[in-house]
Structure 1
Amino acid sequence: MSAGPLPSRRLFLGMAAAVPLSTTGALTLGSRPASAATAAPSVMAYFTQSPRNLGTDYGLHLAVSTDTLQWMPLNQNNPVVTPTAGDGGLRDPFILPKQDGTYVVMATNLKGTDWTKKTPYIHVWDSPDLRSFDNYRLLKLHDMATHTWAPEAFWDASRGQYAIIYSAVNSSGHNVIMVNYTTDFQTVTAPQVFFDPGYDIIDGTLAKDVNGVNYLYYKGHNSLTGAKSTSLNPGSFTQFTSGLAPQGGIEGPILAEAAGTWYLWGDANALFYAYQTNDLSTGTWTATDRRLYTQPLNSKHADIKPIPQTVYDNMVAKWGKPAWNRLKSYNFPDRYWRQVDSLGRIDPYPFDPYTDSQWKLVPGLADPSGISFQSVTDPTRYLRHSYFQLRLDADDGTARFAQDATFHKTAGLADPSWSSFRSHNYPDRYIRHFNYALRIDPISTTTGRADATFSVWY
């Protein structure tokens, strides 16, 4: 439950990309496999949260990816549906591809962060194609005086039923993973304990039948921990890894596979971390280089599922691509372009106002073959250089302003798959960061080339 903790609920974490990790394996940075380009499309479901709650929304948000690493928000990062019953908001959404090719969406029935609320209900929708969400209902799972957090589901062929797993406090007095069974997500069997290692755990996620073994990852002791079983029966799982976490803790695990690589995602106060392995059986994970992945803006406690290409195409056609971009630093990939007091800089994600980091890349004001960076919140203002520092200023209509605000996109100076931006009227200078401030400088060193290289994504 991205709600945060087990009884001591909030997580506080520094934003730097290079944080010490506690893993069961080597502390190396994973690199994207060459085969990742052939990964099937995927969908991510999430709600949104930002540090000052300017971007917090408890509706169902969707993003898509062609490699399970770079995520494109749909519907301008607005919700595609919002609960109308229960608490009036959701957390921890989950998408289940059903046996008949349609989908069920489930979510925690909670709007906000009151972890003392007790409810036996979860939100449920049916969807034929992830473009419409029908038959909305609250589904009751138990009669216990407890919460019902982070529901997930899987098909149990041996039972001919779907299993719904979720976090709740039962007679043990601490959070365990519970399970109910259903065939229609309308009625369910009586709850049972699915997994209880003897201490407080929440946020269970399952990878089913990987070479005959089922893997369950969950949050316990503020880290992501794995259990496994050759059966899907309640009580059959045994813990087999120690905790995996950046400093400060992590929650909301997601297991997702892409082109032979398994990724374990985790959520640390709305900042996603990704780890990878080629063999789930080892329980060993390496941290994925943050250059390789970009979470949707303000995303919190997500779920990832593969989808057919036609579903991907139809979702993009319905919900649309973002009308804005964000720009990420190459050598500080936890930092994004933004303006603060009208000065351009790179700052660690996440931050508020988050809109300070959204830009429209429009035809250059002085040369339409170039580009200008237009503010999303105030379209009269553009990034321009003044005394070589980048500023966000209103267009005064002069030729000088147009030239100062025009840049030419080139292959990244440090990595040609990324981007660099050459000044229009000072063509020997490129946008780079220096002491985190954005400016234009001549580039002649390895450090300068890295400082002047950025990704353009969402």
Structure 2
Amino acid sequence: MRATPHRQGLPSRRLFLGMAAAVPLAAATDLSLGARPAHAADSAYVMGYFTESPNGTGTDYGLHLAVSTDALRWMPLNQNNPVVTPTEGAGGLRDPFILRKQNGAFVVLATDLKGTDWSYVSQYIHVWDSADLRTFTNYRRVKLHDMNTHSWAPEAFWDAGRGQYGIIYSSVNSSGHNVIMVNYTSDFQTVSAPQVFFDPGYDVIDGDLAVGVGGVNYLYFKSSSAQALVGAKSTSLDPGSFTVFSTPAAHGGTEAPILVKSQTSATWWLWGDTYTPNGVFYAWQSTDLAAGTWTALDQRSYTQPVNSKHGTIQPLTTTEYTNLVAKWGAPAWNRIKSYNHPDRYIRHSDYVGRIDAYPFDPYTDSQWKLVPGLADSAGVSFQSVNYPTRYLRHYAYQLRLDVNDGTSAFAQDATFYKTAGLADAGWTSFRSYNYPTRYIRHSDYVLRIDPISTATDQADATFFVGY
């Protein structure tokens, strides 16, 4: 959720849960994950989110899904279109959350709101059941309270002591500021009366839990006064038992924390969503939740799904990952990130090739089909998604988006060979077909082909091909 004065800094949220499941692990599992149908060799994750772009061309208030093998670089599914959309209430969602239930199946929760009409009040949340995130069944809205206020950013966790799930969400209490509430349920259809789960005495939204990590439960939330992500902890899951302990993490105004545990190491990641200017995700890393401190990750390390807002991340098995890609399909396009300006992506603007800072509209200016090279199929050509008759080609050494005129000269100018990244072999550089001593690089954010000699040149000529 983007916090605004109109809704008293209401939530953008997520909750990492006590994952549960039907199939035993092949190796010991961190208690924060609980039993789940994944094995030690699995490294796959799913993200749920909705989308907003600066001018609205990429805005959609349905449930979107992306997958990853490292929980850092994400591949949107279904061409970044929604996989399911609410049909009741406001007819849209924000702040989706995916929970794996005790039986290994999933439940999806979301805020009942379409767009940014913060005056819209709903005591309900959207709920779907899903066996596999390929089909969504039993859609309903569940009422959480009778107060004349919202139910923002729902998340859920398994409370083993109660033998029930807790649904936490943000709402305004009797003192007039946002707190995190909780209702308990066995079936996500009927719920107990609401209780205050966490109220430190000031405005808080977007609760996200890691349960049972070394005998401690961790709750991360947005402090509206600090405009930052802050942690609280408790040795129980009882309402009112959490106390603040961590150092705030923020990159500008930051909300919607997501706690993610690596399936293959001791690493934890904390994701946050900035609501200004347009919902950019940032990530931090730690190997010790008890310390309450986080190290910011270089943006080279991670890439959010295009236009994604207020996400949720859950572990998957390798089989589940494969099945999701088979069902929803990988993107038919790529986005290409700059190595030394990792907040910027290759795009065309007024038919000029350049790198610009994400996000921007039309966002499709940064989507490319890397097709077999027009002059040599061993190379690649950059076909524009939103101008499919046009390709990136060099002209007087500068890159521009031109219509393919069918000539051999055009084909040669528009063909490049992918090579190991000149600044990082794990990335990619692009060598010109007809000027083989020259590579695509940016200079003052404009793309051109140049000979490469210095370390700066190498960094300018290195890119990551992702989504």
Q: Aligned residues: percent identity?
A: 70
SS in 2 for 1:246: coil
What's the TM-score once normalised by structure 2's chain length? 0.91
Distance 2:381 2:148 in 1: 56
- What corresponds to 1:262 in structure 2? 268
Amino acid at match of 1:239: V
Q: For 1:441 and 1:331, locate their aligned partners in 2 and report how far apart those are by CA, in whole Å.
A: 17
Please report the RMSD computed on the Cα atoms of aligned residues, expressed in angstroms.
1.4
2:145 aligned to which of 117, 142, 145: 142
Q: Where in structure 2 are the equivalents of 1:264-413 lying within 5 Å? A: 264-269=270-275, 270-413=279-422
Q: Given residue 95 of structure 1, which amino acid in structure 2 is its aligned partner?
A: I
CA pair 101-210 structure 1, distance change in 2 beyond 3 A: same
**Runs of 5+ in structure 2 lacking a partner?**
12-39
For 2:320 and 2:189, the matched residues in 1 are separated by 25
Are residue 204 (structure 1) and residue 181 (structure 2) matched?
A: no
Tell me the matched-pair count: 432
Matched, 1:171 2:174: yes
TM-score (norm 1): 0.93
The unaligned stretches of length 5 or more in structure 1 are: 12-36
* Partner SS state of residue 315, structure 1: helix
Asked if the contact 1:3–1:115 (Cα under 8 Å) also holds between the matched residues in 2, the reply is no
Alpha-carbon distance between aligned partners in 2 of 1:190 and 1:180, rounded to the nearest angstrom: 6
2:241 to 215, 218, 236: 236
Contact 2:7/2:119 (<8 A) preserved: no
Residue 159 (structure 2) pairs with residue 153 (structure 1): no
Choose from 423, 429, 441 the match for 2:432: 423
Choose from 165, 185, 188 the match for 1:162: 165
Residues 365 and 403 of structure 1 are in contact (CA less than 8 Å); yes or no, is this contact kept in structure 2? yes
Return the alpha-carbon distance in structure 1 between the equivalents of residues 435 and 41 of structure 2: 40
Could you list the runs of 4 or more consecutive aligned residues of structure 1 that deviate by over 3 angstroms after TM superposition? 1-11
Whether 1:89 aligns to 2:92 is yes
Would the aligned equivalents of 2:6 and 2:119 in 1 still touch at CA under 8 Å? no
| Contact 1:262–1:277 (Cα < 8 Å) also in 2 | yes
Q: Which moved more, 1:179-188 or 1:254-263?
A: 254-263
Partner amino acid, structure 1, of 2:50: F
Cα deviation for residue 308 of structure 1 reads: 1.3
Contact 1:6–1:201 (CA under 8 A) maintained in structure 2: no
Structure 2 Cα separation of the partners of residues 57 and 42 of structure 1: 22
Rounded to whole Å, the distance in 1 between the matches of 2:344 and 2:130 is: 36
Match of 1:226 among 231, 252, 255: 231
Contact kept in structure 1, 2:42 and 2:316, CA below 8 Å: no
Q: Which AA in structure 1 matches 2:230?
A: T
1:266, distance to aligned residue in structure 2 (A): 0.3
Per-residue deviation at 1:331? 0.4
Distance in 1 between the 2:304 and 2:340 partners?
A: 18
Q: Matches of 2:97 and 2:3 in 1, distance apart?
A: 15
Query: How far apart are the structure 1 equivalents of 2:42 and 2:343?
Result: 25
Q: What are the superposed Cα offsets for residues 189-221 of structure 1, whole Å, 9 maximum, x if unpaired?
A: 000000000001110000000000000000112
Match of 2:254 in 1: 250
Tell whether the 8 Å contact from 2:273 to 2:310 is kept in structure 1 after alignment: yes
Matched residue SS, 1:245? coil
Contact residue 413 and residue 452 of structure 1 kept, 8 A:
yes
User: Following TM superposition, by how much is the alpha carbon of 1:242 offset from its aligned partner in structure 2, in angstroms?
Assistant: 3.7
CA contact (8 A) 1:207 1:255 kept: yes
